[in-house]
Structures are given as structure tokens and as C-alpha cells.
Structure 1
Amino acid sequence: MEVTVHNKAAIRGVASYIPDNRLTNEQLANDFPEWSVDKIYEKTGIKSRPIADETETCSSMAINAAKKLFAKLSVTADSIDFILLCTQSPDYKLPTTACIIQNALGVPTSAGALDFNLGCSGYVYGLSIAKGLIESGQSKRVLLLTSELYSRYINKKDKSVRTLFGDAATATLVEGVKSENELLGSFVFGTDGAGDRNLIVPHGGSVHPLNSDSFSEVCDKSGNFRSSADLYMNGAEILSFTLKSVPLLVTNVLSKSAFDIENIDKVVFHQANKFMLDKLRKKLKFTEDQFLVSYRDYGNTVSSSIPLGLELAEQQNLLRKGENVLLCGFGVGYSWAGSIITW
């Protein structure tokens, strides 16, 4: 019987842009004398975090990542027919940052371009959107970008989040290939907006526009200072949500894809922090060889953490062509998503 070969979406390559400026544990220990360098590393597993300088923007970082990807793959901007940008730190409230990027890169005006605001699960959502565009015949070559500058929302006197987050951008080329197999597999999603208050910048949107009170700082019981224009995270609630939702997510992805854990070659989770990822790995019974991590030198780079992990694993020869890779993103929203891809 003849096998019908269809156009399937596949990842052609990944590249990243990492700001040169770094926030080290030594700098943090100087700002927070009650936490030593060793204590910060013990709590987070992070040694340093890239932080965008004042001249860098969401678009400039994404453009740099895209240019690196084009050079890596010998691809030209005029071959792109859709730009997807995942960010929670856009250049402006409007216009759409993806439109700014289209013009700066020289992508044809016939291309589509959109932003979507989805944090830690956003990369997996982006792959799903790219797959839909390609396999429905609407696009042939999609540029999926992530670009996050959470540092712009972090109070420098709030060690609860300043020790965790880093800035980074990534670019992924997703294109159609002739294949009888799924290369971007089935996707599983989840949403629970009841957790919205546990990871939030309270002021700056239509509910609470910025006003004279937005920048008044308060000190919490742990000695962290922040204003209503700064990022707030309820770490205990985020951990509880993660340990409850992610194992179920993994079970559902494996079931929908007809895979067992033993069939998974590599696992790339959103890089929240060492404590959370260690708990998840042990609970799900993944081996250390399966479970790829990148938080040590980058911290939590939000939507950029999964593609950054893929690029680093490729550079370190930990990923090989044809391997099955489980991707899981989870966090702000609450929102979560997972899929198995073929590298």
C-alpha cells in the first residue's frame, strides 16, 4: 500500500541572543547581605543572569536572534512568510512589535506578523500556531521569536524575583517538509486563570492604569520591596500549581502521542529554578541524562527558556537528529502546554 506523504511542520533550527550584561550572585550578595553567594546558588541553582542594558528592547533582541538564525541556516529574510513573537515585554502597548521586526529584518510586506502574550508556556503555544499555519497550507516558513526583558518589571530591592529572572531572545525557524511522520507532534494545553494574581504586574493595564500611586514601594514580611508597577510572584503558590499540573500534563502528552517515558530521548522543561525542576524530574522518574537543564548561566528567561535549552543542548552535542524531545512550558496565567517533537 502506498504511503501518502504530506507537508509536515518541522523545526529547522534555533538561535538565541543573550545580552552581554550579567547579574552575578556576588552582585546580589552585595545588595542583599543576608544572603551569601552560596545561599543564592543553593536556593536557585543559578550563578548569573543576562540582563538587557538600557539601550536594548524587545524588538532589538529578537532582531539579533533572528539574524543569528539566518546566518546559521543560510536563510534570507525574504523567504519568511509569517512572524510570530511571544513576549510579555513588548516595545509598546501598540503597535505590534512583530510588525516593527518585520520592517527591520526586511521580511516581505506580504508576510503575516503577530504578537502573543503568554510567558512561560508561550514557546510551545508558538510551535502549535506555526504547525497550524504550515500544515493548513497558509504558510511555508514561519519565524517564531521569543523576547523577554522581565528585568524592566523587577524592583532591585526584591530578591524573591531578582535572583531568578534573566533576559534573552530566541529565534526558531519552522518550515514545511515532506514526511509521513509527525515532526511537531500532538499538543496538550491547559489554562487556569484563577491563578492570575500569583504572578503579576498589577498596574499598567486597563484595570489599573499607571498613576501617582503605582510607584509607591511597600515592604513585605520577607523584607522585599516592590511597587504596584513591579513584578510580584507568590512562590509557594506557583510551586504548588506546578507540582500539581505538570505531571498531569506530561501524562496527557505521552498518552496523546502514544509514547512511554522510555521512548523519550530528551526532556526540556521551562527553566523555572533548580528546586522546582529537581522535584519534577524525580516525581516523573526522568533520568538526569534525559532531563536537559540550562538555568545555571541564564536563570528563568520566561518564554525563551525552552528554545534556549534546545540550542544549548545542540551545541553540547546532547541532541541528535531523529531524537524524540518532550517539551513542557508552564507558569504565568496560569498557563501550560506540552508536546513531543522530533529533532
Structure 2
Amino acid sequence: MNARIRHVAYHLPQAVSTVEDLAREMNNGWSAEKIVRKTGIHARHIAAPGECASDLACAAARALFAEAACTPREVDFLLFCTQSPDYLLPTTACLLQDRLGLPTTAGALDFNLGCSGFVYGLGMAKGLLLTGQARKVLLLTADTYSRHVHPGDKSVRTLFGDGAAATLIEASGVSADSADEALGSIGQMVYGTDGAGYKNLLIASGGARLPRCAETARECTDKFGNTRSQDHLFMDGPEIFKFTMQVVPVCVNETLTRNGLAMSDVDLFVFHQANAYMLESLRQKMGIPEERFYVNMADCGNTVSATIPIALRRAVDDGRLKPGMRVMLVGYGVGYSWAGTVLQWA
């Protein structure tokens, strides 16, 4: 028995911010063409006032149910990956269990992880399934990073969009449908953590270490013209890029080794969709042919924990991910954290 992805659906909020909007608003010499050239992002979806990550996740889950992947009553466990919970407590996954009509016998938990969260979630779901603790796991990934970004911080505002994905994971053989109607088995996992880099992607205030106050809300402008406070998201772009270039190629090689594969055995590589420049740098460094490397973020930006499942669903819809193919997934980012695995398309 193995664990496999049965279905993926996603949801993006209605409001859209384009690079033309940003260029007009920032008025700092960043043209729309320059933003696209540096990021590969033309537009991002932005959550409406009062719209939470849980609302996006709920919409993604309902889309999955509407596509007849399963019914809410069949879900045994709910995993919710977010860094934008509704409350400090209770666990947002408990609220989602009630809103989605999942059985009260289902387990539900949040886990706080960003851009590597989807791959970590696959690993946790696989563990629940293979140990017999669940038969169907609903993995929801959603974030509203726009809430954390200062309007005057072009270093992050041009990158992050809001969005959610819902992924149904089940034990192989549970469904009576033909194998070619589902994503295939989840392979061996590779994980990594380097907490020494935590300061390079950080919201400093709002937790027990530094509660928000008038002092943390004080704004400042850095030497690059980016304005923010300690209440807002900070990213050291050069350090994040350096970290990515170091760990992702190693993670890819370790994932190949653990799964008994060579680079040529992988039909499609789907990495965390951080930005086009970073993805292209990784592709070139590892010598991955363009036709085997999937990038799809131009109209939604970096949706954090939801980038990989959104890309997977779009690869299916685009005809880039087909039955019989092997696809490698690699997530990396905040923490620092990273993870990789290989899916076999059934």
C-alpha cells in the first residue's frame, strides 16, 4: 500500500493587482516592464478586506468536492498549512472542519510553514495513511501574505499574492476509479531545516517574543527605498537567493538518490514558484531542460504554501503532466526549511 494524491483544486481571490497598478502607485522608477523582467509576475490576486486564509481554503476545498473527488463526510483528517491563521487560538483547522461539514470523528490540525509546507504536508498525510490512522486526508494550503506587506515595500509587494489549494490524499486502492484518473503515489521524502536563517524572512512582531506596540509599528525606509515596520514582512532577497541556490540542488540530488532515480528519470520538475528569476537560475544551475521544468505564476505570483499544488493542477490542465509521468516537487523558503519528493502519475 502507498499514499497517492487523488485530486487537486485551488482558489484565488477575486481582486487582482497588476504590475501596471503597482508601477503607477509606487511611482519610484519601477516600470511595469521592469517588474515583469525581474519577477516574471504580471498580476497577483489579493484577498478582500475581512477575507481570511481560511475563507480561501474553504473555497478551494468546496471546489475539490464539487469536482467529485470525494464528499466531505469521507475525509478522515484535515491538515491546514498556513502562516495566516484566523486566531492565535483556536486552531483554524477546527473551524474549517465545521464549515466544510467534515465528520466530528476527523482529526484536524494547523501547521505553520510557508513555501515548503505543501511537501511537508504530503509527508504527514502519507504517514497518517500508511499507519492506518486515516483513509482520506484533506491537505489545505492557504496564505494571505498581502496582509503582512507594507504598501511601500517593493522588495516583497511585487512578489506575493494570496491563494489556496486543496489536495485530497488517499491510500492506494481506496478508490474504485481507474488509476489514470488520479495523481500517483507519493515517493520517499527529503526534509531540511536551518533555523539560523530565520531573520532573513520574518515578521518580527506579533508573537510572544515581541508583542505589537507603538514602537514596532514605527515605520522606516531602508537604503533601497523600501518602507516597512516590524509589524510587516521583511525579506533579505540576496540572502534568500543564496540559500536557495545552495540547498535546492542538494535537495534534488538527495531526493533522486532516496527514490532510486536519475535526473533523466524525472519527466517534470515543479518547484516552489518563488519568482521567475530564481526558478530560471535553479534550472540553469542544475541543467534541467526547459520542457521538463514547469513555471506557472505570471497571473498569481508567489502564493507561498499553495504555489506547488496550484502549479500541479495547472500542469494537468495544460497537458504538461500526463499519466505515466514522474514529477519531482521541491519546496523551500521561510524558516529556513525545504523538502522534496517524487510523485508517480498512476
TM-score by length of 1: 0.96
Match of 1:3 in 2: none
Give yes or no for the alignment of 1:290 onto 2:292. yes
Alpha-carbon distance in 2 for matches of 1:239, 1:118:
19
Give yes or no for the alignment of 1:67 onto 2:94. no
SS of equivalent to 1:119: coil
Match of 1:111 in 2: 106
CA RMSD across the alignment: 1.0
SS of equivalent to 2:187: strand
SS of equivalent to 1:295: coil
Q: Find 1:54's aligned residue among 46, 49, 57.
A: 49
SS of equivalent to 2:302: coil
- Answer yes or no: is the 8 Å Cα contact 2:6–2:69 preserved in 1: no
- Answer yes or no: is the 8 Å Cα contact 1:186–1:340 preserved in 2: yes
Gap change, CA 1:113 and 1:159, over 3 Å in 2? same
Match of 1:171 in 2: 166
Match of 1:19 in 2: 13
C-alpha displacement of 1:79: 0.3
Q: Find 1:315's aligned residue among 314, 317, 322.
A: 317
Alpha-carbon distance in 1 for matches of 2:34, 2:56:
31
- Answer yes or no: is the 8 Å Cα contact 1:134–1:141 preserved in 2: yes
In the alignment, structure 2 segments of 5+ residues that lack a partner are: 175-183
Match of 1:98 in 2: 93
Match of 1:237 in 2: 239
In the alignment, structure 1 segments of 5+ residues that lack a partner are: 1-6
SS of equivalent to 2:189: strand
- Answer yes or no: is the 8 Å Cα contact 2:308–2:329 preserved in 1: yes
C-alpha displacement of 1:130: 0.4
Give yes or no for the alignment of 1:76 onto 2:78. no
Q: One-letter code of the match for 2:248?
A: V
SS of equivalent to 2:5: strand
Equivalent residue runs for 1:36-47 within 5 Å: 36-47=31-42
Q: Which runs of 4+ in 1 moved over 3 A?
A: none
- Answer yes or no: is the 8 Å Cα contact 2:7–2:69 preserved in 1: no
Alpha-carbon distance in 1 for matches of 2:55, 2:148:
18
Alpha-carbon distance in 1 for matches of 2:325, 2:118:
19
Q: Find 2:2's aligned residue among 5, 8, 14.
A: 8
- Answer yes or no: is the 8 Å Cα contact 1:13–1:73 preserved in 2: no
Aligned length: 335
Equivalent residue runs for 1:195-214 within 5 Å: 195-214=197-216
Alpha-carbon distance in 1 for matches of 2:97, 2:289:
41
TM-score by length of 2: 0.95
Q: One-letter code of the match for 2:22?
A: L
Alpha-carbon distance in 2 for matches of 1:306, 1:166:
14
Q: One-letter code of the match for 2:148?
A: Y
